[in-house]
A and B are shown apart, each in its own frame.
Chain A
Amino acid sequence: MISRFLKSREALLAGAIVLLTILIAIRFPAFVSAANLVRVFNDTSILIILALGQMMVILTRCIDLSMAANLALSGMVVAMLNAAMPGIPVPALIALAIAVGAILGAFNGIFVWKLNIPPIVVTLGTLTIFRGLVFVLSGGAWVNAHQMSDAFKAFPRAVFFGLPVLSWVAIFIVVLMTVLIGRTALGRAFYAVGGNPTAAVYTGIDVGRTRFVAFTLAGALAGLSGYLWISRYAVAYVDIAGGFELDIIAACVIGGISIAGGIGSVGGAVLGALFFGVIKNALPVVNISPFWQLAISGAAIILAVAFNARAERRRGRIILRQSEAAS
C-alpha cells in the first residue's frame, strides 16, 4: 500500500510541492510559518473547489471552459441581491449561488448530452454568454464593499479552530468529493464513461446523462465559488476571475487528471491546485518576475503531461465502433 503510494503521481507531486516550499523558504523564511501556510491554503481554497468540479467533467472525457464565467455570473447575482435586499440571510444567498451555478452547468450539460456538440465548443460559447450576462445584469456597474451587508462579507472570514470558514468549505468539499468519487455508483460511472464510453454503454451506463450530471455538479461548485470569491474580495464586477478557467484546468492537469478521460483522483486535483497556490503566493514575497511564474507553471504542466503519458496504460484495440457510445 505504502510502496504503491510512493510510486504514484500524487506522491511525486506532493514531493514537488514540498521541494518548492523549501526553495521559497530559503529566500523568505517566514513563508513556512504556520500562519502563512494557513493563509496560502485559504487563498487556494476556491481553486481547490473549482478544480474538483472540473475534475468530474474531465473524467467523463469532457472539458468545461465556462467555470470562471459561471463563478462571475453566480457571484454577481447574489451580490446584487444582497445589495438590494440586505435582509436576506447569508445561507439562503449561498443556496441561491449554488442553484444558479447548477442551472448554468446544466445548460452546458444539456447541449453536450442532447445535441452532441463537442464540450469544448459548448463551453467556449457559454463562457462568452455568461460573461455577457454579467454585463447585462449589472449594466457594467460594480457592486462595492459598502453595498454588501456585513454578514455577507464576514462569513468566509469567520475563524473556527484556527482556520477561516473559506478553508473549511474547501475541506468539506474535498471530503464530499472523496465519498462521491470513490463510494458511489455515480462516481464510478464518471471513470467508466471517460475510460471507455463504448464499454460503459454495454454495462448499462447512460454516457450522455452521466456527462450532464458532471457538468451540473461542476456548475454548482462554480456557483458556490462565486459567492466565496465575491464576499472574500468584497467587490463584484464583470471581469471577476477573468482567465481563471485556464488556472482551473492547469491545476487538474498538473494533478494528473488525464485530459483523455477516465484517469485522476481527488488527491491529485487538490495537490495540483495547491502547487498553483504555493507559486502564486510565493511570487509577491520572493521577487520573481511574473514571466518566471508563468514559465514555472507552464513547465509544470508539460512535465505533468509527460509523466501522465508514460503512466497511462496502453489502450486495447477498439473493436466496437465509436458511434455506439453516442447512442
Chain B
Amino acid sequence: MRKRSLTLLSDGTLFRRENTLYFENERGRKPLAVEGIYDLYIYGHVTITSQALHYLAQKGIAVHFFNHYGHYDGSFYPRESLNSGELVIRQAEHYLDREKRLKLAKLFVTGSALNMKKNLKRWKVADGFSEMLKELFEELEGAEKITEVMNVEARIREAYYSRWDGHLPEGFKIVKRTRRPPGNEMNALISFLNSRLYATIVSELYNTQLVPTVSYLHEPGERRFSLALDLSEIFKPIVADRLATRLVTKRTLSKEHFREELNGVLLTKEGMKKVLSEYEKELTKSVKHPELKRNVTKKRLIRLEAYKLIKHLVGVKEYEPLVAWF
C-alpha cells in the first residue's frame, strides 16, 4: 500500500481512541487510517492530544505545522528509527573538510541554476541567461568560501526572477522577491509553496539515515533542518516555481484568493486549499526515470536525491544534482 500525505486545512481535534486516529469537528468525526499515512501537514487550528502524538510517533509519522498565514512553524519529528553511525561520520567529514564541503555546496547551486535555466527556456524568457550562467559558473568554480558560493547563488537567483516576470501575467509579477512579509500576491504564493516544499523534504529526510541538521550550502543549525534547505535549492525551481506559474497563468488563482494584512499579502483559506490540492497532485505525478527505468513520482525524486547524497558521502558515486529532463 502506498502511503499518502495528509493535509488538514480545517479546524478540529485530532485524537486517538483504541488503535484509531480520529479527526473531529462540527462536521463530524472521521477515522484516519494510520497505516496509510506517510506524513501530516496541519494548517487549520487543530487541537492534538498527546495520545495522538504518541501514536504518530510510534508509526514514524512526521507532523508539520503551519500557522494561520501558511508559514511553516515547525515539525513534530518522531524519534529517529533509522540510524547509521557510519553515515553520520561521513556527513560530518564532508562538512569539516573544507574542499569536500565546498564541492557539495557548489553542486547544490549548480543544480539549482540549471533547473532555473530549464524553467526560463520553458517559459521562453531565457534571453541571455545561459551566457550569464556561464560567467557565474566560472566564478562559482573559483569560489573558496561558502559566502562566495552564496553570493553567486544570490546573483543567479536575481537574474532568474527578473526574467521569470516576463512570463507572468499582469498583477502577478514578482518585481522584487520579498519574504517576511511577502509584498504582493506572487511573493505570497512562492513563500507558501516553498514552506510546503521544505516540510516535504524534511519528511523525506526523516525516512532516510541522513542527519537533517548537517548541511553543506547552508550553515548547519542556521535553521533546524538545514539539509532540507540544501536540497530545496534543487527542487524549488522544478516544483514550487513551476506550480506557482501554472496556477496564475491558467488562472486557477485570482486576486480574490489573496488578502492584504498587516503581515503582508497572504493567501486566503480558499486560495490555500486550491494551492495545496494542486501541489499534492503535482507531487504524485510520475515521470520515467532514465537511470532506474521505472516511473517515479516527483515526490520520490526528493528521496532519490537523498540516496544520491548518501552514495556521494560513502564514496560510491559523486553526487550529480537532479536537472529536470521533464
Q: Answer yes or no: do A and B interact.
A: no
